[in-house]
Chains A and B, each alone.
Chain A
Amino acid sequence: MSTLADVAQSVVKGQMDKVKEHVQNLIDAGNAPLDIINNGLIEGMNVVGVHFKAGDMFVPEVLKSAKVMAAGVELVKPLIDDSEEQSKGVIVLGTVKGDLHDIGKNLVNMMMTSSGFKVIDIGIDMPPEKFADAIREHKPQILAMSALLTSTVYAMDDTIKYITTEGLRDRVKVIIGGAPITQEFAESIGADGFAPDAASAVDLCKELV
Chain B
Amino acid sequence: MIIVGELINASRKVIAEAIKAQDADYIKKVAINEREAGVDYIDVNAGIFIGKEMEYLKWLVQLVQKATGAPCCIDSPDPKAVQAALAVHKGIAMINSISLEKERYEALLPIVAGTNLKVVALCMSDRGMPQTTEDRLAIADKLINALVRNNVSLENIYVDPLVQPVGTKDSFGIEFLNAIQAIMETFKGVHTMCGLSNISYGLPNRKFLNRTFAIMAVAKGLDGLIINPLDKEMMASLTVAETLAGRDEYCENYLEAFRAGRFEF
- Please report A residues at the B interface, Cβ cutoff 8 Å: 58-60, 63, 98, 100-103, 106-107, 124-125, 149-151, 153-154, 179-180, 185
Contacts and interface: CB of A to CB of B under 8 A. Distances in A.
B203 A60 contact: yes
A180 B76 CA distance: 13
B258 to A, nearest CB: 37
Contacts of A125: 126, 128
Contacts of B49: 150
How big is chain B's contact interface, by range? 20 to 34
Contact of A59 (B50, B103, B126, B202): B202
A29 B101 CA distance: 55
A58 B203 CA distance: 6
Nearest to B127: A100
Interface string B64-103: 0000000000001110010000000000000000000101
Contact of B204 (A58, A124, A153, A154): A58
B203 A179 contact: no
A134 to B, nearest CB: 19
B77 A151 contact: yes
Given A58-B203, A59-B203, A60-B203, A150 B50 contact: yes
Given A102-B128, A153-B50, A59 B168 contact: yes
B11 interface: yes
Given A59-B201, A179-B48, 8 more contacts: A58-B167, A58-B202, A58-B204, A60-B167, A60-B168, A100-B126, A150-B76, A179-B11
Contact of B202 (A60, A98, A154): A60
Given A150-B48, A180-B47, A59 B167 contact: yes
A184 to B, nearest CB: 9
Contacts of B47: 149-150, 180
Contact of B78 (A102, A124, A150): A150
A201 to B, nearest CB: 15
Nearest to A100: B128
Contact of A180 (B48, B126, B204): B48
21 contacts: A58-B203, A63-B168, A98-B101, A100-B124, A100-B128, A102-B129, A103-B164, A106-B168, A107-B168, A124-B128, A150-B48, A150-B49, A150-B53, A150-B76, A150-B78, A151-B76, A151-B78, A151-B81, A154-B50, A179-B48, A180-B50
B91 to A, nearest CB: 26
A21 B91 CA distance: 67
A167 B126 CA distance: 30
B85 to A, nearest CB: 14
Contacts of A154: 50
Contacts of A63: 167-168
A98 B168 contact: no
A124 B128 CA distance: 8
B165 interface: yes
Interface string B94-134: 00000001010000000000000000000010101100000
Nearest to A154: B50
A124 B101 CA distance: 13
A102 to B, nearest CB: 7
Nearest to A60: B167
Contacts of B164: 103
A180 B201 CA distance: 16
A184 B33 CA distance: 33
A185 B11 CA distance: 16
A182 B197 CA distance: 22
A51 to B, nearest CB: 13
